[in-house]
Amino acid sequence: MFQWYVVNTYSGHENKVKANLEHRRQSMNQEDRIHQIVVPTEQVVETKDGQKVTSERRVFPGYVLVQMELTDDTWSLVKNTPGVTGFVGAQNKPVALSRAEVDRILHTATVERPKQKAEFSVGDVVRVTSGPLSDFSGEVVDVNLDQSRLKVMVSIFGRETPVELGFDQVKKTS
């Protein structure tokens, strides 16, 4: 029976371990016992200099998921792969993930809407780069990550006025 197991790796070597596992699986004729090898990632949208940049980020740095039938041969194959430090679980007995955990992790790996990463925080001074308030400066008073919006206090006609702007409409001032 195929189950998902978590393999601990050296941080930053997840993709290399995945490639090594796939190669070893093939060379040791274990394709029928080791089904899938996954490095959980998610898409993150960052705003840099007013431009949206999409990048991929590991959900669990230092870990790789392996769907396999646990036997002495498969355990040895995975455990002795370069870059692998061991399984998550008891010393010689890996613990399989529950169906709910696998669904949550793999759903995170295929997120429909990329998560927004803000480079802004409350108290930052920003300059508006687009829209009717272009070239105005103000102080960030609220950051809404879910909607990728900021609330900025801008001085209009000598009065502090709260204005809601998108991350792509402002730029941090040094």
39, 88: one domain: yes
Find residue 89's DSSP bridge partners: 94
Q: Is 58 in the same domain as 109?
A: yes
Q: How many domains does the chain have?
A: 2
Q: Encoding tokens for residue 55?
A: 């990048």
Closest-CA residue to 10 (of 69, 90, 81): 81
Convert the pLDDT of each residue in 105-148 to its tens digit. Answer: 777 444 445 555 668 888 999 998 888 888 899 999 998 887 78
Whole-number Å distance between alpha carbons of 151 and 158: 18
- pLDDT number for residue 109: 47
Rounded CA gap, 3 and 138, in Å? 53
Please check whether residues 78 and 126 belong to one and the same domain: no
Which residues form the domain of 83?
A: 3-116
Q: Could you give the 3-state DSSP secondary structure of residue 170?
A: strand
Residues 154, 104: one domain?
Answer: no
Same domain, residue pair 95 and 142: no
Whether 46 and 86 share a structural domain: yes
Residues 137 and 109 in one domain: no
Three-state DSSP class for 164? strand
| Residues 44 and 110 grouped into a single domain | yes
Pair 106, 78 in one domain: yes
pTM of the model: 0.61
C-alpha 136/C-alpha 150 separation (Å) is 14
| pLDDT tens figures, 4-53 | 999 999 988 999 999 999 999 999 998 899 999 999 887 777 777 767 78
Q: Based on the domain organization, do 17 and 89 belong to the same domain? A: yes
Domain boundary among 116, 138, 155: 116
